[in-house]
Amino acid sequence: MKGGWWKIGTVLLLLYVVIVGLRTPLAPALVHASVDRIAPGPVSFDIKGYNTHFTEGSVTAWLENDGQQVCSAPVEVLADDRARVTVTVPQGFRKPLTSVWVFTAKDGPIALHDAFFTEGLGDGITGTPCRPGGKYLRSGLAFPDRAILNETIRNLFFHVPMWFAMMALMTIAVWQSVRVLRSGSLEADRSALSAVHTSLLFAALGLTTGSLWARVTWGGWWTSDPKLNGSAVTVLIYAAYLVLRGSIPDAHKRARLAAVYNVFAYALMLVFLMVLPRLTDSLHPGNGGNPAFSTYDLDSSLRAVFYPAVLGWIGLACWAYTLTDRTERLNALAHEAHDR
Amino acid sequence: MRTAEIGHLLRLEWQLDRRQKHAWGSMALYVVSTVYVCYQGVRHLSDVPVWNALFWIVVLFAAFNALARSFQREDAGRQLYLHTLASPRSVILARTLYNALTMVALSLLSLGAYALFIGDRPLEQAQLGTFVATVLLGGIGFAMVLTLIAALAARAGNGIGLMAILGLPIVLPMLLSVMKASKLALDGLPLSVTGQYLGWLVAIDAIAVALAWLLFPYLWRD
Amino acid sequence: MKRTIANAALLVLAAALPARTFAETSAPNWLVDTMYGSGKINTVVVVVSVVLIGLGAWMFTLDRRLGRLERDQKSRP
């Protein structure tokens, strides 16, 4: 198994990614309140939690508006993830959106931010701090539970690295193309083609998984996001690369022209990928609550899996590339023998 | 590569083109008839985003049509002549410059024809100077990016079809920034806002020309 | 001034959209039934499956290619 250490490393990394990426629970969160509008006076509503532990120990709840808190009456716990909160809403909250907080002995403080549209605004109230002083027992790794994303946050380890893998293979292809230009080597040309073919496999995986994820979270198979447009252009460029190759019969000429196009297109594509987010961000200021991963604040628990995932998938892509390239070499050798 | 050589090549291009007046006529006719077809489709447009988008599509296809022939007309004898006469880098720089000048003329012509047929309502509240500058920079930019692609397509022995396939994904970034800049200029925003996009445009141009300068010798030799 | 505008914008937003459910409401029933249960975990299952199926299909084509090469090798002395 000489030189195989990186393959073992790839397998181990991906094993870690699958196990930790799928087993780590989401952090406890509140996902829903049965009321979305509150007015001064007593109000009672059910809150729905996710991965919460309402039944273990006492539960405290309070409303918060612009940093001012109003404590609830004792919380009626219905299940681990359901509880009924009764609270008297005061007159005079400053902001039109009010959050609800819950504190349990196991989960600590959890919020449903901006849960209620608030009536009866004014210049503020005389609030009291409601958060209990005690410690809480939440421990271990947990992924953040974001609205809309929920469990699909795990796709970060199975969709995003596809693009990293694709870019890594395209970089290999460009490097091989530079070798073609410098030495005219047909072997390097074959390697460039293998790298492009394999990178298109990962592009296809990235597009399919991304499309599915977008449908569930953003509500459309395709959205006008800079990342999507960038990937579409990348795929078009490499499809054009294959068309160009197909239209030139002479092997040496094909190698040279394809290499020229690859280097030119790759460099301009990099510029595009740098320019595009700035261009589109200014087209759509504020992303309508659907943050792209460029603006996404990675929690360190996500990082602990995401970085190994990127390395692992790049490793797998390189492995697939070497397999394709070796097969192509055998194929070329067979053809040579056949011609002789 | 010397400036004098590039100047000489530019003059040569001009003389050759003067002898083929029909080439100029066909380019102009292409633009005017494209605009006229658009006119038949939409009549007058006063909606700024649509006006802007349609205009750039017209310019883009005019550019493809005009630049595709820049290496196509090369016959073997002329190529041999250029080969012995000049270094490939001078050839690509001269050709890029010449194409840029062609595109200046063509994009102004497109703008004129477009304003005449489709309507100049969007121009009324525009920053006219900035808009025209954007049009010129856009035209020049298409020439800078597409000249190498035209050479590639011609070398592959395939016409405008291959050029469109190879060129479209590559000019897309430039098209997006130029559309954005011209939309801002049409909305009447000052140069300080539009300038950022024009800056991107110039940067892409510079990178494209540098790459063409680096890569063209590999296309040239046989 | 800025705060007032921001508050007004939030107000409009809050009136138009009930809290954090706007993406969910746009989904058709079949999607909600299949994908939205248990915190949308099925989406992750499908994504991982797509990746595995894709890699499997790729291995299948590579396998066929190698098989063809082997046959060529055998048929030639």
Nearest to B152 by CA among A250, A253, A185: A253
What is residue B79's predicted lDDT score, i.e. its pLDDT?
67
Ordered per-residue pLDDT tens for chain B, 222 residues:
578 888 888 887 777 777 777 777 888 888 889 888 888 888 777 788 888 889 999 999 899 888 887 776 666 566 667 767 778 888 888 889 989 998 999 999 999 998 888 877 778 787 888 888 889 999 999 999 999 998 888 888 766 778 888 999 898 888 888 888 888 888 888 778 788 888 888 888 899 999 998 998 888 776
Q: When comparing pLDDT for C12 and A48, which is higher?
A: A48
- Total domains in chain C come to 1
What is residue C77's predicted lDDT score, i.e. its pLDDT?
59
What is residue B155's predicted lDDT score, i.e. its pLDDT?
83
Of A237, A243, A256, the CB nearest to B170: A237
Are A107 and A138 spatial neighbours (Cβ–Cβ below 8 Å)? yes
**Residues with pLDDT less than 70, chain A:** 1-2, 137-140, 224, 276-299, 340
What is residue B222's predicted lDDT score, i.e. its pLDDT?
63
ipTM associated with this complex? 0.88
| Three-state SS at A50 | strand
User: Mean pLDDT in chain C?
Assistant: 71
| Three-state SS at A296 | coil
Enumerate the residues of chain B whose CB falls inside 8 A of the CB of residue A252: none
Residue C61 has pLDDT above 90, yes or no: yes
What is residue A4's predicted lDDT score, i.e. its pLDDT?
86
Residues spanned by the domain of C41? 2-75
> Mean per-residue pLDDT for C19-26?
44
Tokens (6 digits) for A134:
């005690």
Instruction: Tell which of A152, A199, A329 to mutate to test the C interface (max C CBs under 10 Å).
Output: A152
The residue of chain B nearest to residue A181, with distances taken between CA atoms, is: B218
- Burial grade of A319 (CB within 10 A; 0-12, 13-18, 19 or more): middle
C74: left (phi over 0), alpha (psi -120 to 50) or beta: alpha
Show the domains of chain A with their CATH numbers. Answer: 38-118 (2.60.40.10), 150-339 (no CATH)
- Indicate the angle between helix axes B128-155 and B160-186, nearest 10 degrees: 170
How many whole angstroms separate alpha carbon B4 and alpha carbon A328?
48
Residues of B numbered 155-214 whose beta carbons fall under 8 angstroms of chain A's beta carbons: which are they? 155-158, 162, 165-166, 168-170, 172-173, 176-177, 180, 197, 200, 203-204, 207-208, 211-212
How many whole angstroms separate alpha carbon B59 and alpha carbon B85?
34
Which residue carries 């058709």 as its tokens? C28
Cβ distance C11 to A96 less than 8 Å, yes or no, reads yes
Question: Vertex B211, ends B206 and B217: CA angle to 5°?
Answer: 135
